[in-house]
Structure 1
Amino acid sequence: MSDSHANLADMELIAGAARSGGEIALSYFRKDPRRWTKENDSPVSEADLAVDRHLAEVLRAARPNYGWLSEETADDRSRLGTARSFVVDPIDGTRGFLSGSGEWTVAIAVVEAGRPVAAALYRPVGDDLYVAVPGHGTRLNGQPVSISSRDRLRGSSVAGPKSIAARAGLTATGLSHAGYVPSLALRLALVAEGRIDLAVVRENACDWDLAAADLLVQEAGGLLEDLDGRALAYNRASVRHPALVAGPAALVDPLRPILADLM
């Protein structure tokens, strides 16, 4: 099977898994699921764990030779010795999920040689499915989407933490704050879709927050880079990343040095 065919087959697999995982999550949504706080002070619920178990069963059975990296599974690093790995966030935006917000997603990517080669991002509340493979563009519910065509910072919208978006150095550019999206993956998908012009990501986001959305942004014609202009590498020993910016090159290039002074 060629790489292109393998990527498309993997995309179909993870898209179906994201949908079925989303259905499981919906069965807990707004029903006060049991919840805990992890060591890094982030929340996790019985819904996260149920979706994680389901995705592991479905995906690892279908591709037993692939590695596995999930926010809710202990990392034994055996993934590092595999050609391809699943990178999974069972519920991206758990805080939003637990508060009753509809802005949470199931995010799944397949990573090879450090880069995503298939992506599926499903937003159950709204039944929105984003998918991408290299060279085939990004699709939302079967229709192609593309990055914003804006070429000036003034008047463009930026999504991200208010603590960053509201800083004087950023507001002086004329950017407008598009609000905070609890799911980081969804925030980036909205950039890929062109609904938001730019997104800013604080340091320490992890592979599972980013890998699927990274491919969505790239295939929609945009960039997701660190503040030195470098693309991200996934499925490494460390899964954490520095501060990032996403959007069209015409906006990312002038914004990077401004953010570097602020973050």
Structure 2
Amino acid sequence: MSEPTHSRTADAELATHLAEAAGAILLGIRAEGLGAGDGRELGRRGDKAADVYILDQLAEARPGDAVLSEESADDRTRLEASRVWIIDPLDGSKEYGMPARSDWAVHVALWERGHGITAAAVSQPALGQVYSSIDAVSDAPANQPLRIVVSGSRPPAFTDAVAAELGAEVVHMGSAGAKAMAVVRGDVDAYLHAGGQWEWDSAAPVGVAQAAGLHCSRIDGSPLLYNESHPYLPDLVICRPELAEPILRAIAKHSTESAVSGRVAMAREYVNALLTHDATKVRFAADAWRVENGQRTGDTGAFISNELEQGQQYRGILAIRELALREWGESVVARYLMDLGTPGQAPAVTVFITEYFGIPAGEIESIMAIIEPHSKEAGTQ
């Protein structure tokens, strides 16, 4: 790949333009679609449209650069590239589909080899705001007590203990970008996350926050690394610099869970989707396949994803219990009990499932499932 020469100011200006313009596209789609149907489908429409726009613009403006986007297949040539754009065209798609919510964002960041994130922009279209690494400034909050923002759906298990130790209030919000920009604005003092994220969730927010002089790290204090082989980055802290030491110390004291790997997280999302019928967070390779008790049950990622959400064969799943996941190499094995029957009634049958996932990179490429009868007397072995 060629070595283009662009100033960081020009790169940041491009990131800002793309985030703002994609945000305008999203506002238009939202205005037309809100209240007309499924909010999840609206989020997908917005995600796709914003992704296509950003990728087309980058192909024209920076044809020699690689791209890692949430909504596109992972092109592994990025691992050899010197410049990689890390994109989340719509962060907070759930909130985007809800009329009263403004906590969704567009993320555009540039990673450069040897330098990390060098240009970034986060657009919050519903607020009419774009934050850029060109001119990012952190406003000192006048909050007493401290305010900590966490995910509304997946707050860290240590949230309450850390907040109590610091004497802090807890605020819940959607979108990593929205939470990080709340710290930049001074609405809150810190953003803590430990529920699993991907590089595109935090690259642009971290780029803007760092440019504004804020502390950004993993929850163990180690650096946030981007353009890694597997783009899973499970946790982070963004806060005012003077708060970093007490926050990291409190997390170390109260955090009892180790971060899972990206492969384990992907397999877990798939198992969750069997029960929730929401495959939004499950990443499949385009040619992904699934085999169930020797029978082919899926030949493309799009088909498997659609089956998870629409397939009638999954509507009778009442519960998934005793889930255990183990990783070795590029594979993950999941073992669990599944209760089947009619909603609102006792399970008619319980089966024991073993699934083998092939996950060489950032997408599930294969699933081999073995489904066996189960009884309490027989156990699960």
Q: TM-score, normalised by structure 2?
A: 0.59
User: 1: CA distance between counterparts of 2:162 and 2:246?
Assistant: 13
Contact (CA 8 Å) 1:217, 1:246: kept in 2 or not?
yes
Q: Secondary structure at 1:29's aligned position in 2?
A: helix
User: 1: CA distance between counterparts of 2:74 and 2:52?
Assistant: 14
Counterparts in 2 of 1:4 and 1:188: CA distance versus 1, 3 Å: farther
Equivalent in the alignment of 1:167: 160
Equivalent in the alignment of 1:142: none
- Same amino acid, percent of matched pairs: 27
Equivalent in the alignment of 1:84: 83
Computed over aligned residues only, the root mean square deviation of the Cα atoms, in angstroms, reads 2.5
Residue identity in the other structure for 1:26: L
User: 1: CA distance between counterparts of 2:40 and 2:144?
Assistant: 42
Equivalent in the alignment of 2:175: 183
User: 2: CA distance between counterparts of 1:74 and 1:5?
Assistant: 26
Residue 14 of structure 1: CA displacement? Answer: 1.6
User: 2: CA distance between counterparts of 1:176 and 1:191?
Assistant: 14
Matches for 1:23-38 after TM superposition, within 5 Å: 23-29=24-30, 31-32=33-34
Equivalent in the alignment of 2:13: 12
Matches for 1:107-186 after TM superposition, within 5 Å: 107-113=107-113, 115-133=116-134, 137-138=135-136, 145-146=137-138, 148=140, 155-161=145-151, 163-164=155-156, 167-177=160-170, 179-186=171-178
Residue identity in the other structure for 1:182: G
Structure 2 runs not aligned, ≥5 long:
258-381
Deviation per residue, 1:135-185 (Å, 9 max, x gap)? xx51xxxxxx225378xx9721100036447524432421111x2221111
User: 1: CA distance between counterparts of 2:166 and 2:124?
Assistant: 32
Residue 44 of structure 1: CA displacement? Answer: 5.0
Contact (CA 8 Å) 1:146, 1:192: kept in 2 or not?
yes
Counterparts in 2 of 1:34 and 1:90: CA distance versus 1, 3 Å: farther
Deviation per residue, 1:48-69 (Å, 9 max, x gap)? 0011011100112110111100
User: 1: CA distance between counterparts of 2:125 and 2:91?
Assistant: 12
Contact (CA 8 Å) 1:148, 1:247: kept in 2 or not?
no
Contact (CA 8 Å) 1:191, 1:197: kept in 2 or not?
yes
Of the two, which has the highest radius of gyration?
Answer: 2
Mapped pair 1:229 → 2:230: no
Q: TM-score, normalised by structure 1?
A: 0.84
User: 2: CA distance between counterparts of 1:35 and 1:154?
Assistant: 36
Counterparts in 2 of 1:70 and 1:155: CA distance versus 1, 3 Å: same
The structure with the largest strand share of the pair is 2
Contact (CA 8 Å) 1:203, 1:244: kept in 2 or not?
no
Relative contact order, higher structure (CA 8 A, sep 6+): 1
Matches for 1:195-214 after TM superposition, within 5 Å: 195-214=187-206
Residue 257 of structure 1: CA displacement? Answer: 2.4
Contact (CA 8 Å) 1:148, 1:196: kept in 2 or not?
no
User: 2: CA distance between counterparts of 1:232 and 1:214?
Assistant: 9
Q: Secondary structure at 1:8's aligned position in 2?
A: helix
Q: Secondary structure at 1:167's aligned position in 2?
A: helix
Counterparts in 2 of 1:99 and 1:250: CA distance versus 1, 3 Å: same
Residue 241 of structure 1: CA displacement? Answer: 1.5
User: 1: CA distance between counterparts of 2:245 and 2:43?
Assistant: 36
Mapped pair 1:106 → 2:114: no
Mapped pair 1:216 → 2:208: yes
Structure 1 runs not aligned, ≥5 long:
38-42, 139-144
Residue 72 of structure 1: CA displacement? Answer: 0.3
Mapped pair 1:60 → 2:53: no
Deviation per residue, 1:176-230 (Å, 9 max, x gap)? 11x2221111211221222211110124211111111112111211111112211
User: 2: CA distance between counterparts of 1:36 and 1:88?
Assistant: 20
